[in-house]
Every structure is written in structure tokens, then in C-alpha cells.
Amino acid sequence: MAEEQDGGRARAVDGSDGAIAAKRARLRELHVPGRPLVLPNIWDAASARTVAAAGFPAVATSSAAVAAVLGYEDGEATPAAEALAQVARVAAAVPVPVTADMERGYGLAPAEFAERIAAAGVSGVNLEDSDPRTGAMVEVDEQTRFLAAVRAAAGAGLVINARVDSFVHGTGTPEERLADAVARGRAYLEAGADCVYPILVSDTETIRELVTGVGGPVNILYRPGVPSIAELASLGVARVSFGGGLHAAAQEHLAALVSAIADGADPYGAPRG
């Protein structure tokens, strides 16, 4: 068992201590096909507290949003230590489980990755199957070995959401991309993932075929053009996330406020005397 010195005493960082184990178990329980876990993705402690205060049972980070607030581009440009420090702040700020978007592990070996995620107090992770720097998809066998290694290092508790990028970086016809996404999703579940995340899928029939074909919990990214959350539930989706969309919308709102100030207007919309 890995340990970390904290105030002169060692503490477990493999996720086996009671508090983390309970949160991880709770996060896994929330993935119910037909009654999806809804995750408005956040980027810092303040936004995490807002989501938790609204009654959501778990909090999820967005790698793109976290990168932006730390001054980096998405795609693992954020140093691993900074990304982990940010998700640790989030986890410490809220009483609910936190699942962190960790791209493809920021280049960390699975054992180190699992240890540092546990030390950060994280209950779940997103791990994608394309190289964040090049966009090229990783071969299925390589990705399944990676996921299996993370599972072995982290133990049974960590909730792994395996992103499937067939609709982003894959090739071929829509039917071929769907078949690839289903095959990858099934392989990732067999390798130890708890949920699969075919990102950028938007039409009802494709979502239906993914849920049926994968045969396990499916996460859908909510964005314009995607069926409503109620419709996604009827399709058997187990998790709905918002990615970097909320952060982008918050930035747009901030830009409008700043523009109003620059124009000499009241940014809060109060009547001027």
C-alpha cells in the first residue's frame, strides 16, 4: 500500500481508507441506466461548491475548463502536478464524490497515477483513448492494457469512465464509427472500466444503438442538438455530463459584463440615473 507523509504520520493514498472508499462506492451506485447521473462539469473549488449546493450528488471536473483557468491549453498541456493540485482543491471543497477528467493520465505510469489520484481524494476519473497531443486514436489493445493497469493499481474502488473518441478522431462511415465505438466500449468494460463515454454523439438512434451494443453504463455529453436529459434517460443512458460547456458559457457571460463596463454601462442592468 502506498503511503504519504502528512504532518508526521503516514496516511494511505491507495483509495482504501474509509472516507474515499465510501465516496467511490457512492459514485459507482449513481451510474444507473435509465436514471442517469447528471454532472454539470466545473473547474475550481467555487464552481464545485455551487454544484454541490444545488443538490447534485457528485461533482465532475472538465479538463478543458481546468486547463483554461490555470492558463494552459487543453490536451495535456497542463503539468500533471498542477492538474492534480486543482482537482485536490475541488475534492477538499465539497462533501460529495468528485470525478476528475484526467485526459489520458498526463503521461503518468498507471501505478503512480492511481496513487496520486487517491492522494487527491478523487473518486473517479475520465480517461480518453486518443493521444491528447496528436489526436490520433490509441489502438484498442494498447488502451485496454492501460485501463487494466490503472484498474489493477487503483483497486476495485476507483470509478473509471473510459472515453471513446471514435466520433471525434475515428475514420470511416458513420456506421463504421458506430461499430468501432461499440467494440471499444465493450473492450474497455472488460478491461475494468465502469462506464464508457462515446463523446460527441448526438442523434437519438446512434445513442440507442450504443447503449444496446455496449451492454454497460454509457455517458453522453450534453450539448446543443443532443436529446433532452429525460429523453437520454429513456434511451438507457447512465450518465450525462456537460464537459467544458458551462465554463465556456460563464466566460461568454463575463465577456458581456466586461464589455458593458468598457462601454460605460451598468453591467448588472440597473437603471442609470
* DSSP output for 109-151: -HHHHHHHHHHTT--EEEE-SB-TTT-PBPPHHHHHHHHHHHH
Neighbours of 204 (CB within 10 A): 14
Residue 64 belongs to a domain: yes
Domain CATH for 142: 3.20.20.60
Give pLDDT tens digits for 72-120. 999 999 999 999 999 999 999 999 999 999 999 999 999 999 999 999 9
Residue 148, φ and ψ in degrees, nearest 5: -65, -35
Residue 3 belongs to a domain: no
d(CA 262, CA 197): 42
Residue 273 belongs to a domain: no
- Look at residue 213 and give its three-state secondary structure: helix
Give pLDDT tens digits for 131-159. 988 889 999 999 999 999 999 999 999 99
Judged against a pLDDT cut of 60, whether residue 1 lies above it is answered with: no
Give pLDDT tens digits for 187-213. 999 999 999 999 999 999 999 999 999
CB distance 228 to 202 below 8 Å = no
pTM of the predicted protein model:
0.91
CB distance 200 to 221 below 8 Å = yes
Residue 207 belongs to a domain: yes
Whole domain around residue 188: which residue ranges?
A: 14-260
Residue 185 belongs to a domain: yes
Residue 162, φ and ψ in degrees, nearest 5: -90, 110
CB distance 93 to 45 below 8 Å = yes
Q: Which of 92, 87, 67, 116 is nearest to 248 (CA)?
A: 67
DSSP string, 39-86: E--B-SHHHHHHHHHTT-S-EEB-HHHHHHHHT--TTT-S-HHHHHHH
CB distance 11 to 17 below 8 Å = yes
Q: How far is CA 162 from CA 92, 170, 214, 222, 237, in A?
A: 24, 16, 12, 17, 15
Name the pairing type of β-strands 219-221 and 195-198.
unpaired
Provide the β-strand partners of residue 130: 137
Residue with cell 460605460: 264
d(CA 150, CA 36): 25
- Averaged pLDDT of the chain: 92
Judged against a pLDDT cut of 60, whether residue 66 lies above it is answered with: yes
The grid coordinates listed for 140 are 484498442
Residue 7 belongs to a domain: no
Residue 188 belongs to a domain: yes
Residue 239, φ and ψ in degrees, nearest 5: -155, 135
Judged against a pLDDT cut of 70, whether residue 5 lies above it is answered with: no
Residue 30, φ and ψ in degrees, nearest 5: -75, -10
Residue 1 belongs to a domain: no
Q: How many domains does the chain have?
A: 1
